[in-house]
Structure 1
Amino acid sequence: MTRTLRTLLVGLLVGALSGALVGALAGQATAEGGRPTVISRQVAFELVNTNDTDLLCLPDGQEYVVRARLVGPRKQVLGRAGAQRINLLVHDAGTGGWFWGMDSPRRYDYARQLARRGETSLVLTRLGYDENRLDSGRDTCLGAQATMLHQVVQHLKSGQYRFTGDVGTTTPHAGHVVVHGHGTGAAVAQLEASTFDDVEGLVLMSWTDNQFSQRAVAEATRQGTTCLGAADYAGFGESRADYRSLLFASAPASVQRRAARLRNDVPCGDVLSLAGMVTALTLGTGDIEAPALLLYGDRDARTRDGAADQQAARFRSSESVHTRTFRGAGSALPLEHRAPQVRREVLAFLGGLRLS
């Protein structure tokens, strides 16, 4: 090989390597400057199934390890960002933690989509559901659910919880907690806020304590009849088709089918304390001071027209109350066709909160 040819080849090789290096650095800069890397980690809380609210119901008073999932930007989830806001996501009766993470398609993964905008969320699976199922659904109740939610809020703020299988990593602690609830989960969040006054915001979806539809009343009555017998759990909906019609109006068929496969029965302690929950919220919601965002679908099978205005009027002491009703949407707003608009409304609300 001649010296001239060798020099030419070396020059071409150096140029190619330099170009590759520049391209890699440019790609790295784009990744760092764009949306964050999102991760999910399992965590565990030690909670006491007790009732410290004004809702009269009797849980078993035992301590349980309740598992949940942190979803957010990598640095925040791994506790390397200092005190931060954590969104605490609380599911409805009959669903589960999966409600907030329907990742196929990812358009409907509420927690992950919030994480792509820089938000960290704790996806809570309530005691009595899925991996946190009880031997008897009569061992807990909605007053206990609100009390355990309060315990989770306090553990988030102190950092007193742990990663499962990753002992060497520090869990993040929250400077502020905003609770997002759907259906009965929204009622639990509302009771927690009115009782303990320790959250910085509420995002409440598809819940009313005074504008239930006849369909909702009939479903609650059916579940109550089951639980007044010997059952420990009651089905949510008489069939999968009934379940889908209670939750959905516009979600893709694939999302509805998967949700129906994942549906949970409802602990009878929750079912039998629902009437007391409505009374407690009627008396206590006016004491809530945290800002609130109330979201509804105009085709929700479980609420009547006017639910948003009636519910907003109960938040007499809140710093601010915003409502939004989405056209064509049913109850399961994060899984309905308007899910991106729902998230935009939520992100705008979160962006307007004072973090002092």
Structure 2
Amino acid sequence: MFNNLRAQMLLLGLVGGLLVALPAAPATAADRARTPRIVSQAVTFPVVNRGPGWCAADGGTHQVRGRLVGTRAAVEGRTGARRLNVLVHDFAAGSWFWHLRSHPAYDYATQLARRGEVSLVLDRLGYGASPLADGRATCLGAQAEMLHQVVQRVRSGLYSFSPDRGTRPLHAASVVLHGHSVGAAIAQLEAGTHDDVDGLVLMSWADSGASTRAVRAASDQVSTCLRGADYATYGGDAAAYRALMFRTAPAAVQRSAVRRRSADPCGDATSLAPALLPSALAARKVDAPVLLLVGSADVQVRPGAAERQARSYPRDVAVTTRTIPGAASALPLERSAPATRRTVLRWLRALR
């Protein structure tokens, strides 16, 4: 009996050794099925393009389009009301800035979705999938008002949504606005004017912190508009644009951004200077938590501008300021993008 037991133990040991030595089996279909699938679902919002007194818009009804990015269950509203991150792009950009699917490691919306978040990436009116024939027919104040209308619609679930099978559209229990540069100014205007969001993530923006290079680029753009153009490009030629936006982004990411770069509606460009005071006044009325993010190598924002911006909000508002070492303006597309996302995700989790 002892000899039989000893033989069995030796046999088990040999089998165990073989199992350790064998390479891991590839993921099975069942394994892949357990990994939540991330989807990108097209959505449409009817909005009225109306501006406040300090900027003019056509007052017409237009279609603003975007994409919901998250797990299929969340995007189709099968997980109930939940937080929605609404991502607002800068000049010369579009929804692609947040959802660069050709470079998955730099796809901000999808990477957030892999960690349980759901995002709405928008093409603002006059950009990408939300065309506007006359670029002088909108302005930054109107962009903030249209963003407000989008926020109200995602809270109620009243928007066009066409998934593969009939389901109710996602409706948001809470909304956090993420804005980059001029998109951050639009988000701040919306939040300070309407008090209907639960947090602000503002990247690469300060109301009075624009550098000389940024002012010069904006002035050149306005000059083009004043010569009669409907649309004008921010940042000059491709090399100048790269120098304004990037420092460490991979060359392939920079090339993708340059290919996708769009001209801006001249109504947006010419209303940037008039928007600075309303944006600063709106900051004083924000009552949601704020995360300010800036890159240490951002040539469009003066040193210390983020810290000064932090003092613009009411004293009882929780304001967090973080500097991303070595990064330029386009924080989601720089090599430090994972650090940017980790900072945002930690802050988002603290809101719960």
TM-score by length of 1: 0.88
Is this contact kept in 2: 1:49–1:140, CA < 8 A?
yes
Which AA in structure 2 matches 1:316? P
**Aligned ranges for residues 1-356 of structure 1 at < 5 Å?**
28=30, 31-32=33-34, 35-51=35-51, 53=52, 56-164=54-162, 168-317=166-315, 319-354=317-352
Whole-angstrom distance in 1 between the partners of 2:118 and 2:163: 20
Change (3 A) 1:257 1:30: closer
Q: Which moved more, 1:156-165 or 1:291-300?
A: 156-165
SS in 1 for 2:129: helix
Whole-angstrom distance in 2 between the partners of 1:86 and 1:338: 24
Whole-angstrom distance in 2 between the partners of 1:344 and 1:283: 30
Is this contact kept in 2: 1:202–1:291, CA < 8 A?
yes
Question: 1:210-268: per-residue Cα shift (whole Å, max 9, x none)?
Answer: 11110001011111111112111111122011111111111000000110011010111
Gaps of 5+ in 1: 1-22
Match of 1:16? none
Which AA in structure 2 matches 1:158? S
Question: 1:57-110: per-residue Cα shift (whole Å, max 9, x none)?
Answer: 110000011111000011100110111001000000111100011123311000
Which AA in structure 2 matches 1:28? A
Number of matched pairs: 328
Question: 1:111-165: per-residue Cα shift (whole Å, max 9, x none)?
Answer: 0000000100000110000121211110100000000000000000000002247
SS in 2 for 1:101: coil
Whole-angstrom distance in 1 between the partners of 2:162 and 2:43: 5
Change (3 A) 1:241 1:24: closer
Whole-angstrom distance in 2 between the partners of 1:29 and 1:167: 24
Whole-angstrom distance in 1 between the partners of 2:324 and 2:26: 43
Whole-angstrom distance in 1 between the partners of 2:222 and 2:58: 20
Gaps of 5+ in 2: 1-24
What is the Cα deviation at residue 36 of structure 1? 2.3
What is the Cα deviation at residue 208 of structure 1? 1.2
Whole-angstrom distance in 2 between the partners of 1:288 and 1:66: 25
Is this contact kept in 2: 1:288–1:318, CA < 8 A?
no
SS in 1 for 2:121: strand
Change (3 A) 1:165 1:104: closer
Change (3 A) 1:317 1:61: farther
SS in 1 for 2:220: helix
Whole-angstrom distance in 1 between the partners of 2:27 and 2:261: 46
What is the Cα deviation at residue 27 of structure 1? 6.5
What is the Cα deviation at residue 301 of structure 1? 1.6
Whole-angstrom distance in 1 between the partners of 2:315 and 2:158: 31
TM-score by length of 2: 0.89
Is this contact kept in 2: 1:94–1:266, CA < 8 A?
yes
What is the Cα deviation at residue 28 of structure 1? 3.3
SS in 1 for 2:228: coil
Question: Identity of paired residues, percent?
Answer: 53
Which AA in structure 1 matches 2:42? Q
Whole-angstrom distance in 1 between the partners of 2:323 and 2:36: 30
Which AA in structure 2 matches 1:262? R
Whole-angstrom distance in 1 between the partners of 2:315 and 2:147: 22
